[in-house]
């Protein structure tokens, strides 16, 4: 009887442990944000706002993210080309973008040589291996020599925007207050690479790709010698890009907060750049004031 009792008790304990593990796994998947670097349980969040910020990498405060030949945009683009990083189509982070589509977004508007489809069909702009009066059919005249191959490779590279030309980034983050730890969090969710309107013939900005910040954070941590925030005042104290974002060493103004119409601040307040900038600064102060008043709650 004792043996049967021990077996029954052990079986009951195993079932109990399995039930607890299943319940914990279900709670973890339902009550934590899967895109957060430092997730906080939903029940601990007192308030939350989704905020879109615009980061101009040419600004003095942001230049350490954009050091020559070590631009953050270069690190991201190279990681996509190497297959170490996956872009997404928008900031909802639900649909991945293919590498081909990402590279297509990086192409210069006139990468086709400025020829129409009809001109391309007629053969304009295509080199032929004829002697052209030089007495040979390839090799030393109009053929594909080593120098011509190098020039062709350089032309292929020049068909894409350079990393230092992509100086706009959007940072999408959740600002929330954790009532258990009594502190406010800036939880970055995604980062967008933006082609400036000045570079586009349409005069409109173009999103190259959107990246989950959790993936970027892992990428930066895995590249301690490459993903560097350049310290211009003390080169012995460079920081990893992940630490630079954690310490909020960047300057990025608010361009949108979550709203039913999904409008940017510039569209809500007047429509002029001056009104949008004023609304951005006003909203920044309101968020700071709200955080301050929570300490009295």
* 166-189 confidence digits (pLDDT tens): 999 999 999 998 988 888 899 999
- Report pLDDT for 158: 72
Whether 159 shows a pLDDT value over 80: the answer reads: yes
Residue 251 confidence (pLDDT): 96
Helix H or strand E segment including 173: strand 168-178
What are the pLDDT digits (tens) for 246-263? 999 999 999 999 999 999
Cite the DSSP H helix spans in 106-178.
Answer: 117-121, 146-157
C-alpha span between 53 and 63 (Å, rounded)? 17
Domain residues of the chain, as ranges? Answer: 41-106+161-294
pLDDT value of residue 273: 84
d(Cα 190, Cα 211) in Å, to the nearest integer? 5
- pLDDT of 141 > 60? The answer is no
How many C-beta atoms lie closer than 10 Å to residue 262's C-beta? 8
pLDDT over 70 (residue 269): yes
CA gap 54, 213 in Å, rounded: 15
> Could you tell me what percent of the chain has a pLDDT over 70?
73
Q: Which two tokens stand for residue 63?
A: 């230049």
Q: Which residue would you say has higher pLDDT here, 241 or 28?
A: 241
pLDDT band at 150 (very low <50, low <70, confident <90, very high): low
The pLDDT score that the predictor gives to residue 181 is 86
Q: What is the CA radius of gyration of the chain?
A: 27
- Predicted TM-score (pTM) of the model is 0.75
């Amino acid at each position: 009887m004792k043996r049967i009792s021990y077996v029954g008790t052990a079986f009951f304990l195993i079932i109990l442990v399995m039930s607890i593990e299943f319940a914990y796994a279900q709670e973890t998947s339902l009550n934590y944000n899967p895109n957060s670097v430092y997730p906080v349980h939903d029940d601990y969040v007192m308030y939350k706002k989704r905020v879109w910020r615009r980061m101009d990498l040419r600004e003095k405060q942001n230049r350490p993210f954009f050091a020559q030949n070590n631009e953050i945009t270069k690190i991201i683009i190279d990681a996509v080309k190497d297959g170490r990083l996956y872009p997404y189509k928008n900031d909802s982070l639900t649909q991945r973008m293919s590498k081909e589509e990402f590279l297509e977004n990086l192409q210069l508007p006139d990468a086709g040589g400025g020829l129409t489809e009809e001109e391309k069909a007629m053969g304009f702009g295509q080199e032929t291996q004829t002697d052209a009066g030089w007495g040979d059919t390839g090799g030393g005249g109009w053929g594909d020599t080593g120098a011509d191959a190098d020039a062709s490779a350089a032309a292929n590279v020049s068909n894409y925007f350079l990393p230092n030309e992509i100086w706009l980034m959007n940072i999408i983050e959740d600002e929330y207050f954790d009532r258990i730890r009594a502190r406010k969090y800036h939880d970055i969710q995604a980062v967008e690479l933006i082609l400036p309107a000045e570079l586009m013939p349409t005069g409109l900005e173009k999103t190259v790709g959107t990246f989950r910040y959790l993936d970027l954070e892992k990428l930066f941590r895995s590249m301690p010698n490459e993903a560097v925030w350049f310290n211009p005042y003390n080169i012995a104290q460079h920081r990893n890009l992940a630490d630079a974002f954690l310490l909020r060493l960047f300057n990025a103004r608010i361009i949108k907060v979550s709203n039913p119409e999904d409008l940017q601040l510039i569209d809500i307040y007047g429509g002029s750049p001056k009104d949008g900038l004023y609304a951005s600064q006003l909203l920044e102060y309101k968020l700071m004031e709200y955080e301050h008043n929570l300490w009295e709650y």
